[in-house]
Amino acid sequence: MLKKLKQFPFLSTAILLTLMTRLVVNGLTWVGVLALVVTALWFCFDMVRWLMIRLDDSALPTYRKETDEEIPPENLASLVYFLSEPREANETSIRRCVSAALGIDFDTDALNSEHFVIEFNPTRNANEVDDGISHFMVKMPQGLFAVLVSDRPYISNPSQFAKEFIRDKRLRKAVEQHLAWISVDLMDDPSDPEATSAAYQVIGQILATLAGPDCLAIYCPEIQRCNEFDLSLIETLSGQRPLDLFSEPTFEPIVEISDSNKKMTQAVREARQRWSEFLHSFAESGPGDVDKFIVKAEFREGPKCEYMWLSVTAASSTSVSGILMNDPHELMDIHRGASVTLEMDRLNDWIYRNQDGEHIGGFTLDVLAEGDEN
């Protein structure tokens, strides 16, 4: 706080107040009026620079700091795209995107307008290196925002971070491969929940217009949630509750487990040994109970292997048939909704609901929740 106060433009503020006081009390000569105009411009420039310094202090993502520990949430209303490649951005392109998102015509004369979009790079010390971030300040009725465009990864070591903290293979790959990022941040005080909620609506609307094929993932620093990006998220992102897009994964998570995992081997063995229980309950089920019986099985294409769930339509002691419930990550010959029949040596797990609504089976789920530990 003391540092921010020291950086406040006290000198230009004091001179401006002095000249305005003299204007009201005694009036000013034409030289005094000229000095007042120059001082007002000086004050505006200093104030913009001070605001950008505040932005630079608060908006640098904590994930970009090198650390071996999990990072606490930031008190920052912000949404971030992880990009596959750097983007070219300038004041005109950002102004066009924000205008399209919010329906506001921004005046290009920033200093004399209540609504403006300007590019501004914070003043740096001589020993500070360029961080690769382009800063754009957006002032509008909904508040003061910033659009940041970086040509470097959001995380200092994406591969290491993804390996340590992200179990979903799809999401891990997206984070590992990102080379740049773009964010929309609230620069006003985020302590008011209602104001912050409204700000997220604005942030989501702006970010929706910035979506493109280079978007790999979307991240929220405040709640520390990350999701793969897909165009299907645009409707939620530009709606009233943009953070709802983090309520569940964009796609079915893919979790890798070692073939030598002893707990997983034991869980699969139990599922196969107790297969007769599944068959007995399935034989007694009625037409309306079909969705109560699901099986997880192994699917292979050459060296690639994935385990996916299917809704069972027929089952015996030697095979099981059903409708595939997931889209594969790497396999190309099958897709969600396909009818498949598999031999029992591909069985991995099964679940069904009994008459009391209780789930029976799911032997591998606890192992997946624990992680890849022997």
* 133-149 confidence digits (pLDDT tens): 999 999 888 889 999 99
For residues 217 and 355, state if they share a domain: no
In a domain, 280, yes or no: yes
Q: Check residue 61 and give its pLDDT.
A: 38
The mean pLDDT value of the chain amounts to 79
Q: Is residue 252 part of a domain?
A: no
Mean pLDDT of 80-85: 94
**Does 359 map to a domain?**
yes
Q: Would you state the pLDDT for residue 220? A: 92
Domain assignment of residue 271, yes or no:
yes
- Answer for the pair 348, 271: CB distance below 8 angstroms, yes or no: yes
Do 280 and 333 sit in the same domain of this protein?
Answer: yes
103 vs 78: CA distance, rounded Å? 21
Residues 48 and 73 occupy one common structural domain: no
Per-residue pLDDT tens digits for 7-40 = 556 666 666 677 677 777 777 677 667 766 666 6
Residue 72 pLDDT level (bands cut at 50, 70, 90): very low
Looking at residue 129, its pLDDT comes to 65
State how many domains the chain has. 3
**Given a cut of 50, is residue 70 above it in pLDDT?**
no
- Residue ending a domain, among 11, 31, 53, is 53
Does residue 208 sit in the same domain as residue 338? Answer: no
Q: Output the CA torsion sign for 157, 159, 160, 161.
A: positive
Residue 94's domain comprises: 61-246
**Residue 250's pLDDT is what?**
56
Say whether both 122 and 200 belong to one domain.
yes
Q: Return the pLDDT at 108.
A: 67
Tell me what pLDDT residue 200 has: 94
**CA–CA separation, 60 vs 122, rounded Å?**
13
Mean pLDDT over 54-79 rounds to 50
pLDDT of residue 190: 74
Task: Name the 3-class secondary structure at 211.
Answer: coil
Residue 18 counted as domain residue? yes
Same domain, 66 and 12: no
- The answer to whether 61 and 151 are in contact (CB under 8 A) is no
- As a whole number, mean pLDDT of residues 293-309 equals 86
How does pLDDT run across 244-288, given as a tens digit for each residue? 988 876 555 555 566 677 888 888 899 999 999 999 999 888 766
Distance CA 46, CA 42 (A): 6
Q: Which residues of 169-200 are buried (b: 16+ CB within 10 A; e: fewer)?
A: bbbbbbbbbbbbbbbbbbbeebeeeebbebbb
pLDDT (tens digit, 9 = 90+) per residue, 179-227?
999 999 998 887 788 888 999 999 999 999 999 999 999 999 998 888 8
Choose one of 15, 37, 53: the last residue of a domain. 53
Residue 254 lies in a domain: no
On whether residue 255 sits in a domain, the answer given is no
Both 278 and 238 in one domain: the answer is no
Write phi, then psi, for 129 (nearest 5 degrees): -90, 160
Length of the chain: 374
46 lies in the same domain as 74: no
Provide the residue type at 313 as one letter: T
pLDDT attached to residue 87: 93
Residues 113 and 213 in one domain: yes
Domain end call among 31, 53, 75: 53
* 317-373 pLDDT, tens digit each: 999 999 988 777 777 788 888 899 999 999 999 998 887 778 888 888 877 766 555
In a domain, 279, yes or no: yes
Alpha-carbon distance values, 25 to 16, 36, 54, 161, 371 (Å): 14, 14, 35, 63, 74
User: What is the phi/psi pair of residue 301, to 5°?
Assistant: -140, 100
CATH of the domain at 344: 2.30.30
- Do 222 and 333 fall into the same domain? no
Same-domain pairing of 22 and 75: no
Residue 153 binned pLDDT confidence (cut-offs 50, 70, 90): very high
- Assess whether 173 and 296 both reside in one domain: no
pLDDT of residue 110: 56
Show contacts of 64-71: CB within 8 Å, 24+ apart. 64/153, 64/154, 64/155, 64/156, 65/156, 66/156, 66/157, 70/165, 71/224
